[in-house]
Amino acid sequence: MSRRILADARSLFYAIATPQMVAHAAVISSRAGEVAARLDLDDDDQDLCAAVGLVHDIGKAEQVRDTGFHQLDGAVYVEPTLGPRVAGLVAHHSGASTEALMRGINLPYPREQSDVAAVLDYCDLTTLPSGRPISPEERRADIDVRHGADTPGPRALGSIWADVLALDARLRGLVAQSPSGLAPGLEVPDPVGASSRSF
Ligand SMILES: [Fe+2]
């Protein structure tokens, strides 16, 4: 199942993705697979993390946009090909559950609260639109500046922020315990002002 879902996600995504979408999502896909492996998730969940990392923002594509709430538009778009689990993860990623409540939008997908969902949120919220890995604090500051800290999207991040920081701390602990097996190009972003460390 798992190899198939990643291949299908790639077909779906690269058929319509702009270079800007690729810059962000391809890195998140790679990092999500790597983080999932680091957390010892099973092979299916590692590939699921990579697949959903790739398509999580597909609702921003011109061809996919419908309601304008990209998490919902993306979920509707991916469901026929990638199934309801991926659709649910896309629909609820990075605080979308709370943002949808604020905006009065119904998300007709169950919210999965799992390691896979946490990995997706973590990787999205530690990767800039350019694809550069960055600390959670810097990423949140970047989102606040671009969207406005008082708007629903940035405000909704507060509902998942403790989980993002907890996974960040957990990964730092795992990397500290295991200096071997570094993956080139993948990093656990360090806090502001600290030197970066390969992951
Ligand atoms: Fe994203």
Percent of the chain scoring above 70 in pLDDT: 88
For 142, the token pair is 């970047």
pLDDT tens by residue, 131-185 = 999 999 999 999 999 999 999 999 999 999 999 999 999 999 888 776 554 443 4
25 CA to centre of ligand 1 in angstroms: 7
* Predicted TM-score (pTM) of this structure: 0.89
161 CA to centre of ligand 1 in angstroms: 15
> How many domains, in total, are found in the chain?
1
7 CA to centre of ligand 1 in angstroms: 20
57 CA to centre of ligand 1 in angstroms: 5
Helices and strands (H and E) in the chain: how many: 9, 2
CATH number at residue 60: 1.10.3210
124 CA to centre of ligand 1 in angstroms: 5
Give the structural domain span for 54: 2-177
CB 125 within 8 A of CB 139: yes
Establish if 183 belongs to a structural domain: no
pLDDT tens by residue, 85-126 = 999 999 999 999 999 999 999 999 999 999 999 999 999 999
- Return all residues near 139 (Cβ < 8 A) that are at least 6 apart: 125, 126, 127, 128
